Amino acid sequence: MIEKLNDNFSLKNGGYSNSEDTTTLPRHRWYYYKEGFSPNLVEKAIEHVGVKKGELIIDPFNGGGTTTLTSSLLGHNSIGIEVNPFTSFLSDAKIKNADISKFKNIESDLLQFIERSAKSPLLGYSTFSEKENLKKWLFNDSVLNSFEAGWQYSNSIPSYDIRKLIKLALISSAMKNGNAKRDGKCLRYRNNWDKNSFNKDTFNETLVNSISIIKDDIQSNPIQSRSKILKGDCRIVLESSDELKNFKLCVTSPPYLNTFDYTDIYRPELFLGKFIQTSQKLYDLRLETVRSHVQAKWNMPIMNDFGLLYEQTIKHINENKENLMHKNIPFMIQAYFEDMLNILKMLKAKAAKDAQVWFVVSNSAYAGLEIPVDLIIGDIASKAGWYLKEIGVLRYVKKRKTKYSPNVTELRESVIILSALK
C-alpha cells in the first residue's frame, strides 16, 4: 500500500484540503463552513476525470456543499447526501436560484418585523442567553429576539427558494452576532465578548449585508444544472436511492477519525433554525452519523478484516489502552473502518463503469501512534472492489502536542483516488 502513496503529488500544499479560499467566492461565501475542502479540489477532479455535461457528480458527506456547488456552477448535475439538517439546508440553499426582483418588498417587510421584535423560544434555554448563575451565554437577548421576529416573518414568504435564502441570511447574521465562534472542536468566546454588545442594530446591519451578497451572487452566478441535496444518513441513502446510479465522479471527505462531533459543534445553528428542539433529538441525530467520535452509544462493529496495517494498528491500541483519552477509542476505530468499507461497497454498486472516487482523509493519532488512515482505507477500498490509483499527499498539518501522543507532531492529509476501471 505504501508504494501507492505519492508524497510529490501535484496538488500538495496548494490549499486543496481546506476551505479558506471560500470566504470570497460567490455563493460559497454565504456561510463559512470551516470543515470543508477547497472548490479547486473539485474542479481538479472534474478536469482529471473529464466529466461531461449530463454525467453525475456525487458527495455522500456533502457538508457545506463544496462538491455540489462547485459542480453546479460549472454546469454539471450533482447530488449531495448530508445527515446534519442544518448543513443539508445550507448546501441546498447555496444551489438555489431566485427571482431577485421579488426581494425588495420582502426585505423592507422583514426589517419592519424585526423592528417589532418577537420573544425567542431560546431565551433562558441552556447557554443560549443570559440568565442567573451563567457566566457566559451564546447570544444577547436582543439578537435572539430580532432573529426570532425575522424567522417568523420568513415563514410567510410564498416562494420556497426565497424563504430558504432569507432563512440562511438570518442564521448567518445571528452567528456573526453571537458571542462565541467555532474554533476547532469547540465554540470559543470572542475576545471581550461581553463588551461587544451585539444587538438589534448590529444584527440588522449584518442581515442587510448578507442579503445584498446573496442577491449579487444569484445575479452574477446563476445555477444552470439540475442538482439536489438528499438529507439523511448516507449509509442508508446510498443503498436506497436510485438517483445516484451511474455516477461518474464522487468527491468526498468523511468525518476524520478524530472524535470530532459534527452535530454538537453545529448545535447553535441546529437550535436557531429549529432543525432540532430538544437535547434528545440532538442525541438521536448523533446516532445517524458515521462512527468517528465517542459521544454516542453505537452498535458494536462486527467486521475486522481490514488488512495488515489495520491489524498492526489495533494491536498497538489494545496493548496501550492506558494511554487512550477515552475507553471507547478501540471500538470507535473498528467501527469507523467498518463504516468506510460499507460505504465504499455501496459506492461501487452505484458507480458508472469508468467512475472515480476522490476520498479526502486525514491520519490521526492515538496512544502515541500515528494511524495511517489513508493507507488503511486504500486496503479497504480494494476489498470493496475499487482499483487504487494513488494516495496523493495534500499536506502535513502541524499537531498540537498532547499528553497521549506527545511524539506525533504532524498528521498527513491525503486524497485517495479510486477507479472502477483498472
Ligand X SMILES: C[S@@+](CC[C@H](N)C(=O)[O-])C[C@H]1O[C@@H](n2cnc3c(N)ncnc32)[C@H](O)[C@@H]1O
What is the secondary structure of 71-116 as a DSSP string?
A: HHHTT-EEEEEESSHHHHHHHHHHT----GGGHHHHHHHHHHHHHH
Which DSSP state fits 304? -
**Residue placing its CB nearer to ligand X in the complex, 235 or 350:** 235
Site string for ligand X, 31-60 (x = CB under 6 A): --x-xxx-----------------------
Residue 58 grid coordinates: 456525487
Part in contact with ligand X (CB under 6 A); list of ranges 80-88, 176-184, 276-284, 301-309? 80-88
Q: SS3 for 186?
A: strand
**Residue placing its CB nearer to ligand X in the complex, 63 or 178:** 63
Q: Sign of dihedral through CA atoms 402, 407, 413, 417?
A: negative
Q: SS3 for 145?
A: helix
Cα–Cα distances in angstroms (integers) from residue 371 to residues 110, 207, 354, 410, in the given order: 51, 44, 31, 12
Residue 87 contacts ligand X per CB under 6 A = yes
Site string for ligand X, 171-200 (x = CB under 6 A): ------------------------------
Give helix 141-154 / helix 103-116 axis angle, nearest 10°: 140
Residue 63 contacts ligand X per CB under 6 A = yes
**Residue placing its CB nearer to ligand X in the complex, 84 or 120:** 84
Cβ partners under 8 Å of residue 174, min gap 6? 139, 143, 144, 147, 203, 272
Residue 66 contacts ligand X per CB under 6 A = yes
What is the secondary structure of 361-412 as a DSSP string?
A: EE-EEETTEEE-HHHHHHHHHHHTT-EEEEEEEEEEEE----SS-TT--EEE
Selected binder of ligand X within 68, 78, 289, 414 (CB under 6 A): 289
Residue 363 contacts ligand X per CB under 6 A = no
Residue 374 contacts ligand X per CB under 6 A = no
Number of residues that bind ligand X (CB under 6 A): 23
Part in contact with ligand X (CB under 6 A); list of ranges 133-141, 210-218, 283-291, 386-394? 283-291
Amino acid identity for residue 313 in this structure = T
Residue 277: how many other CB atoms lie within 10 Å:
13
Q: Which of residues 255-274 bind ligand X (CB under 6 A)?
A: 255, 262
| CB of residue 120 to ligand X, shortest distance in Å | 25
Selected binder of ligand X within 46, 49, 64, 68 (CB under 6 A): 64
Selected binder of ligand X within 96, 163, 182, 235 (CB under 6 A): 235
Separate counts of helices (H) and strands (E) for the chain: 15, 12
Selected binder of ligand X within 46, 57, 73, 81 (CB under 6 A): 81
Site string for ligand X, 96-135 (x = CB under 6 A): ----------------------------------------
Residue 14 grid coordinates: 496548494
Part in contact with ligand X (CB under 6 A); list of ranges 30-38, 94-102, 311-319, 408-416? 30-38
| CB of residue 273 to ligand X, shortest distance in Å | 15
What residue ranges bind ligand X (CB under 6 A)?
A: 33, 35-37, 61, 63-66, 81-84, 87, 233-235, 253, 255, 262, 288-290
